[in-house]
A and B are shown apart, each in its own frame.
Chain A
Amino acid sequence: MNDDRPTIPDDRSQPEPGLTPDPAPSYREGDLIHTAPEFALADADVLAAQRGDIIAGTSLWRDAWRRLLKNRLAVFGMIVVAIIIVASLLGPFVIKKLTGMTPDFIPSSSAGLRSIPPFRAPDGSFSWTHPMGTDNQGRDLLARVLQGGQISLMVGIIATLVSLLIGVSYGATAGYLGGRIDNLMMRAVDVLYSLPYIIIVIVLLSVFRSQTARGQVILLFVALGSVSWLTMARIVRGQVLSLKNQEFVLAARATGVSTPRIIFRHIVPNTLGPVIVYATLTIPTVMLTEAFLSFLGFGVTPPLASWGTLATDGIQNIGIFPWQMVFPGVTMALTLFSLNFLGDGLRDALDPQGSRQ
């Protein structure tokens, strides 16, 4: 891991593997150099820039963003994830406007009270009403998949935030305090690592089963978040170990800043790169675990539905009505696929030397 990476005054001095150095800037006389106002350049700097000695406005984040855009798979992932998030949030409203279908609408006529194939009306003729078909009760599958996306994404994101909160605080504290406390805290993480945590989550979810669907989702946030922070804690600790002896920490300590403040205001912001990368990769893992728990009957409960529960319902009828499983399953796989590519791309962009896996 590159120790002075977070401050990056000039990463040109150590060209990273697999990256071609940027071409020398070709500023011509009279070109306007765009910079943020607080970094407005003095005349001498502009002259230096024109000679090609310094490059204006290359921050770590802008650099990473450019690298990310070069990675086609990551861009693909980013676009798909964006589309799925927007579709899950707005889709149900749009569908209601277009076809009048809501996720809970059960048709009253007996003709519609069965599973209809995609793009078919109840009488078998072509129709736009149900692009993904309907489920056993005749509910529109597209509307249900989009609404299920809200729950799946929400579980993924909030549980990841919970794990972020625990993992970053734990790892930063262990790394900064060091010595015996660090040893003890990380040994505890080692021990937790080797436990069959999913088994414990199942016990937790089955004995504390909530009466309401909302309560069950909140229980899921806590349960999934509280078991997925271990790797995050390790990553943050490693970062903090390499940061804590740098001058800016020394300066903060010398000016009498309290320890918690040093950890959370001075050190943690500098670990953001790897943390973002790992958080992006945690979201699909958590979503997969949620689906897995829902499949076993411990996850999201009706009337709420996630992709996991929809696919599980579909599995019951896979031989007769395959679309009931295929659409939620494929939507979910596509989302996880894209999130994984985005996470991989972010890792390559933000942490070029750490991209080992």
Chain B
Amino acid sequence: MLRFIIRRLLITIPTIFVVITITWGLIRLAPGNFYSGEKTIPPAIEKNIREKYGLDKPWYQQYGRTIWNIVRHLDFGTSLKYEGQSVNSIIARSLPVSATVGILAYLLALIVGIVAGSIAALKPNSKRDYASMALAMLGISIPNFVLGPILVLIFSLTLYWLPPSRWNGFPSRNVILPVLTLSGLYMAYIARLTRAGMLEVLRSDYIRTARAKGLTEMQVVIRHALRGGLMPVVSYTGPALAFLVTGTVVVERIFVLPGLGSYFIQASLNRDEPLILGIVAFVAITLLLMNLLVDIAYAYLDPRIRY
């Protein structure tokens, strides 16, 4: 197990640098830069700015300096657009917003998805099964940027129950709609995965044994079937995290939340190089570490898996 973790970490570190290099290269290869915007800057001023940010040096020196700062100080430099703000401080400020919405959405999706999937699996091909699976398919098919505005239309603009946008700290009613919007897709996926996993497990011998022992259906499902039936859900956690990042970008845009995704989109549109690089690297590191955790959890839950 320890060897597995060490080996995975050894792969993870070069991967992060590959991501940083690809992103850096993409930004550099593309024509134009942050300063080639609509307003032209006098050559003398542009020269000064370039010197200040080290953009007058040859590309390998710039690359080397970027990497060195990241390795040595975990420092991604300062934003070009938001003058005087370091990329690190922007990430530190916006991460809590994204993380709150993301984690709450995933928890909600887990609870609803597992319950719905189990209910469907207990009576396959019943009306209940078809209804929940059709609902799940609907959840997969509705883009979240359509779902969000529809929820706003219903709950904010028609019923006046919930605020339509803006961030107001964590325990506030502003969180509800973004979380609902973001969790729709995962709910649907988790329900489908749970159903498939449970169907398989419920057919197996040890469930028959549990039933033969005279356990109640509730005990059979919760104590015996769920542990095996949820394996596909656990392995979906990795991809789900990646999609969560994507989803957050949209949700933050719809509900005007000052999260990581909003800053990333702004940075991409502004060609704010250090900020793009910083956010991409941060997200990549987070995802890779989370995937490692998921794999460890997987091995822990399923004794048949040994690395």
Q: Which residue numbers of A lie inside 8 Å of B, CB to CB?
A: 73, 187, 191, 193-200, 202-204, 206-208, 284, 288, 291-292, 295-298, 308, 311-312, 315, 318-319, 322, 325, 329, 332-334, 336-337, 340-341, 356-357
**CB <8 Å contact, B143 and A207:** no
| A195 adjacent to B284 (CB under 8 Å) | yes
Contact of B271 with A206 in the complex, beta carbons under 8 Å:
yes
Residues A203 and B11 in contact, CB atoms below 8 Å apart? no
- For the complex, count residues of B whose C-beta is within 8 A of A: 51
Contact A325 B284 (CB under 8 A): no
CB closest residue in chain B, given A294:
B145
Contact with A along B255-290 (1 / 0, CB 8 A): 000000000110011010000100110011001100
In the complex, chain B residues whose CB is within 8 Å of the CB of A291: 143, 145
Q: Which of B142, B157, B276, B280 contacts A333 (CB 8 A)?
A: B142
Give which listed residue, A196, A295, A297, A341, contacts B287 with CB less than 8 A. Answer: A196
**How far apart are the CA atoms of A111 and B265 in the complex, in Å?**
38
B141 near A208 with CB under 8 A, answer no
Interfacial chain B residues near A322, Cβ < 8 Å? 153
Cβ of B295 to closest chain A Cβ, rounded Å? 10
List 21 A-B residue pairs with CB atoms under 8 Å apart, sorted by A's residue number: A191-B18, A193-B238, A194-B242, A195-B242, A195-B284, A196-B246, A196-B284, A196-B287, A198-B246, A199-B283, A292-B246, A295-B143, A295-B253, A311-B145, A318-B152, A325-B149, A333-B141, A336-B140, A336-B142, A340-B141, A357-B193
Q: Which of A199, A295, A341, A356 contacts B137 (CB 8 A)?
A: A341
**Cα-based distance from A203 to B92 in the complex (angstroms):** 21
Taking CB as reference atom, which chain A residue is nearest B164?
A319
Inter-chain contact A198/B253, CB cutoff 8 Å: no
The 10 A-B pairs with the shortest beta carbon distances in the complex, nearest first, are A207-B30, A336-B141, A329-B146, A337-B141, A206-B268, A295-B145, A198-B246, A196-B283, A333-B142, A194-B291
- Decide: A208 and B30 in contact? CB cutoff 8 A: yes
Q: Within 8 Å CB of B15, what residues of A?
A: 191, 194-195
Q: Are A195 and B19 in contact (CB under 8 A)?
A: yes
CB within 8 A of A196: which of B30, B232, B245, B269?
B245
Chain A CB within 8 A of B100 CB: no
Q: Measured between alpha carbons, how far is A203 from B138 in the docked complex, in Å? A: 30
Known pairs A199-B245, A296-B249; A337 contacts B153 (CB<8 A): no
The closest CB in chain B to the CB of A191 belongs to B15
Contact between chains at A318 and B265 (CB < 8 Å): no
* A315 in contact with B145 (CB, 8 Å): yes
* B26 proximal to A (CB < 8 A): yes
* Nearest chain A residue, comparing its CB with the CB of B273: A207
Q: Which residues from chain A contact B196 at a C-beta distance below 8 Å?
A: 356-357
- Knowing A202-B265, A288-B143, A297-B269, the reply to whether A195 touches B287 (Cβ < 8 A) is yes
Given contacts A196-B242, A296-B249, contact A203 B291 (CB under 8 A): no
- CB-CB under 8 A from A198, the residues of chain B are 242, 245-246, 249
- Chain A, residue nearest B130 (CB): A73
Q: Which residues of chain B come closer than 8 Å to A336, judged between CB atoms? A: 140-143
Residues of chain B having any CB pair with chain A under 8 Å: 11, 15, 18-19, 22-23, 26-27, 29-30, 134, 137-138, 140-143, 145-146, 149-150, 152-153, 157, 192-193, 196, 200, 232, 238-239, 242, 245-246, 249-250, 253-254, 264-265, 268-269, 271, 276, 279-280, 283-284, 287-288, 291
Report the tally of A-B residue pairs with Cβ distances under 8 A. Answer: 127
Q: Please name all residues of chain B whose beta carbon is closer than 8 Å to the beta carbon of A206 when the two chains form the complex.
A: 268-269, 271
| Distance of A310 from chain B, by nearest CB (Å) | 11
When chains A and B are docked, how far (Å) is the Cα of A198 from the Cα of B177?
A: 24
Cα–Cα, bound, A341→B246 (Å): 24
Closest to B280 in A: A199
A73 to B196: give the CA distance in the assembly, Å: 18
State the CA gap A125–B38 with chains docked (Å). 46
**With contacts A322-B153, A337-B137 known, what are 5 further pairs, Cβ within 8 A?**
A191-B18, A195-B15, A204-B26, A207-B26, A356-B196
With known contacts A194-B15, A203-B26, A318-B149, A296–B143 Cβ distance under 8 A: no
Q: How far is the CB of B254 from chain A (nearest CB, A)?
A: 8
Contact A202 B264 (CB under 8 A): yes
Determine the distance from Cα of A206 to Cα of B137 in the docked complex, in whole angstroms. Answer: 32
Q: Is the CB of B145 within 8 A of A196?
A: no
The interface residues of chain B lying within 8 Å CB-to-CB of A204 are 26
* B112 CB, nearest partner CB in chain A, Å: 18
User: Would A296 and B250 count as touching, CB distance under 8 A?
Assistant: yes
Q: Nearest-CB distance from B303 to chain A (Å)?
A: 21
Q: Give every chain B residue within 8 A of A296 (Cβ-Cβ).
A: 249-250, 253, 265
